[in-house]
Chains A and B, each alone.
Chain A
């Protein structure tokens, strides 16, 4: 079920009403049923995967806690890791490996073909497997007590607002909130609705409208002028941001109405002054996951410089692979790692201190530099393959003679302008809090504009949320 459908607009109020009417003791049953229904709207069969992941991690968690020796605990940790990573590998990476294997065989003249799996990627598999993995690792290290209540554990894995595209929540943050008795709060309702409204605006009015132009350019970049291609490249930055930010914001708003605070996943990332800051502001739940479960176990920055370099490259490369089974994602991750290292080294060597004022001229220049860099790196993320990525770079330089062919609607620029303006206002705050501080007339004018634009100017193509494919 997509957030931007009538189906969800009916589903959500029904869940909310029953949630607050129901005896709090049984709310988990409602939320769990709703979550499974929500997931099964995509493909009923794939609920088996969530169930398998849930049961094995639940069982492994309890067993890990029971065991007294590290070795026995490790056995159950490995069981959990194998299950989750095995699922991920089978459904997401198997064909990537076999295709590359077959390519190597072909080049070595070995007459052998590895088989291909003809399965659809289960929606959200990368998200819920990472969520359960973090639980198992935390229980193994004793940072988290094992959950005894299967229902709550299952709900932690499948909580519908963040099930398919995050934020990737930690057990210690989400489950206590799921167990808390929440009373209906008008404030939560209003703030939640504000977030949903702004999330829908970002997804439906910006991302879905911009994607038409981006898709056209990436379909056959050779027929477009340099200007058009550059336009497409920068528009993709907004498309992916608005798409994913929109999803996260709707998820956070939905949970908020139920009294549950999900972690913020984005904090105006395109206002970051360098790549390091960008990753502190972009997909925060994933960045922090990699920090806690990959970077720090590798030694973090408390290692020799050469080892730190390797750690950084590993984290970014793995992050790239997490996004998708394609060399473009690997390249994308590596590139971010390399630029991260260059920037860090440059800042260290020249001891550059950035002014505190975010909107000082130097910071504005740095912000623009970071945005341009990130946008160019997104080319690898969006391209079908590495060849296309390089082709786009080449065409930007060579297609200067071709006439501009893109005919972009004025409304796209207007709404994008409005979004950028609001995003600047939201620097280090959130839309619901920001609304609270505005005069009631400003607030209501904004509501009017957002609602009207969502209804009257949404893109009408059936674009799914980009991060569903991960």
Chain B
């Protein structure tokens, strides 16, 4: 009995010890620890009490391109559509659903938050991201935010009570996963797994015109394979568990939940690797949309909404978009939010560069058309310069524009107006309208310039109208240029392109 009393007394003293320590830590040291190791909490605190909508994301939200005129984040563009709703943003590079969940749990139950928009990044389901070398640091930054007593959280931090692994160990993990996972494609895949696919691509390579391997492009293709060649296993993929947990949290908190499925560079995937990779991406896309729509989440599908030229990182796979890309995603999210806030939606003036359906280049300024290397001072209709073709320079200055930026209603007729100077009639010189994209076969409409001009060695005006076929809407990129494979020189100037309804 006495021994029992003794033990109970010691347990009691120990309990007091623990409570006292927790009290002291929480009162005087916890906040300092948060600021030192988990300062992301400040973003949550900033928005938790003054937001109706919270947008939570990784770097896709705020990454910009140097020449963007409007460098605002996706979330800021969205907020324009709902001026009466307060939209708060929580974002930090490399965050993923596992982190989002912990951050969202920090929002007090009595906050004003009504809707949460969560970035659903398909790439985050891939082994390379799940076992990324950034994971240890990310996990560490979340430990103090876990829903346990403050001292226990600090104990976990001190005794490495989170996923600590070296870069080498992480590499072993994702390589093992790549090796283990079988890729199932209806028409069958000739590679056993990602490793084999990647190795074959690296060995065979993407060839230059002269037949040599283009190592830079091959490396990028290999990277696309390693990034996107996976099929989400809903039973074992940790991201599925994380997103599911977010759904449950939203249900518990009575939040409207929106998953913003980010755009991937399908054009590059298709161009570098081919249909099989695009198939896998689309399968994962379908799975995510179906799964979370069935769970009552509003899923915004942006996967193929952004064309290649709007991806800021051309030599890596990221979800970093240039201004128009961010605006398109924001518009899609805003449109989807109409279902939640039908009366709050405010039609924002379309500030996408596509709002203009007239384009002009006088060969004088440096606005970014393609084939600017053909600009010369030898001849000019206006100003001092024109674009010179022939004798090896086959392509003139080229109008190149993402089709998604041109409203469907305008994508009916194209009118091309240009000035041309040619010494002789040449039937091989063509005016070309070219549309490409992974959803359509290459579309080419060619008109011999000889049908449009006399070629009498003076500047002539060419005006050409063409009714664009319906299928062109499936394309990604539209190009207009003069194609001159001959030895005779042709100059063009003051190129004007206009789209309008029939």
Contact = CB atoms under 8 A, between A and B. Distances in A.
B21 A6 contact: no
Q: Which range contains the number of A residues in contact with the other chain?
A: 10 to 19
A460 B155 CA distance: 10
A6 B161 contact: yes
Contacts of B29: 456
Interface in B114-149: 136, 140
B154 A456 contact: yes
A460 B37 contact: yes
A366 interface: no
Contacts of B409: none
Interface string B22-46: 0011000100010001000000000
Contacts of B21: 448, 451-452, 455-456
A213 to B, nearest CB: 15
Nearest to B155: A455
Nearest to A462: B164
A204 B157 CA distance: 11
Given A4-B159, A452-B25, 5 more contacts: A451-B17, A455-B154, A456-B154, A456-B158, A458-B158
A460 B142 CA distance: 13
Contacts of A5: 159-161, 164
Contacts of B17: 448, 451
B151 A455 contact: yes
Nearest to B29: A456
A2 interface: yes
B175 to A, nearest CB: 16
Interface size class of B (residues with CB under 8 A): 20 to 34
A418 interface: no
B159 A462 contact: no
Most buried by B among A4, A6, A7: A6
A460 B158 contact: yes
Contact of B156 (A6, A204, A448): A6
A403 to B, nearest CB: 24
Nearest to B24: A452
A4 to B, nearest CB: 6
B140 A460 contact: yes
Interface in B6-26: 17, 21, 24-25
A6 B25 CA distance: 20
Nearest to A5: B160
B28 to A, nearest CB: 9
5 contacts: A204-B158, A451-B17, A452-B25, A455-B155, A460-B140
Nearest to A120: B168
A6 B153 CA distance: 12
A258 interface: no
A6 B160 contact: yes
Given A452-B24, A456-B29, A462 B160 contact: yes
Contacts of B158: 4, 204, 454-456, 458, 460
A9 interface: yes
Interface in A344-375: none
Interface of A: 2, 4-7, 9, 120, 204, 448, 451-452, 454-456, 458, 460, 462
Nearest to B21: A452
Contacts of A6: 156, 159-161
Nearest to A454: B158
A451 B29 CA distance: 15
Contact of A460 (B24, B25, B151, B157): B157
Interface in B154-184: 154-161, 164, 168
A266 to B, nearest CB: 23
Nearest to B13: A444
Among A204, A451, A455, A460, find the residue whose CB has the most chain B CB atoms closer than 10 A.
A455
Contacts of A451: 17, 21
A456 B154 CA distance: 6
A292 to B, nearest CB: 37
B160 A455 contact: no
Nearest to A459: B158
Counting chain A CB atoms within 10 Å of each CB, the highest count among B17, B154, B159 belongs to B159
Nearest to B160: A5
Which 3 A-B pairs give the minimum distances between C-beta atoms?
Answer: A458-B158, A6-B161, A6-B159
Contacts of B156: 6
A60 B434 CA distance: 80
B136 A462 contact: yes
Contacts of A456: 21, 25, 29, 33, 151, 154, 158
Nearest to B28: A456
Contacts of A204: 158
A421 B159 CA distance: 25
A462 B156 CA distance: 13
Contacts of B136: 462
Contacts of B159: 4-6, 9, 458
Contacts of A2: 160
Interface string B424-446: 00000000000000000000000
A21 B136 CA distance: 38
Interface string B350-382: 000000000000000000000000000000000
Interface string B235-264: 000000000000000000000000000000
A46 to B, nearest CB: 14
Interface string B452-466: 000000000000000
A455 B154 CA distance: 6
A455 B140 contact: no
Interface string B476-501: 00000000000000000000000000
Nearest to B166: A462
Contacts of A120: 168
A364 B285 CA distance: 73
B25 A455 contact: yes
Contacts of A458: 157-159
A383 to B, nearest CB: 23
Contacts of A462: 136, 160, 164
Contacts of B24: 452
B165 to A, nearest CB: 9
A451 B17 CA distance: 10
Contacts of B160: 2, 4-7, 462
A9 B157 CA distance: 14
Interface in B25-74: 25, 29, 33, 37
B160 to A, nearest CB: 5
Nearest to A3: B159
From B24, B136, B158, residue with most partner A Cβ within 10 Å: B158
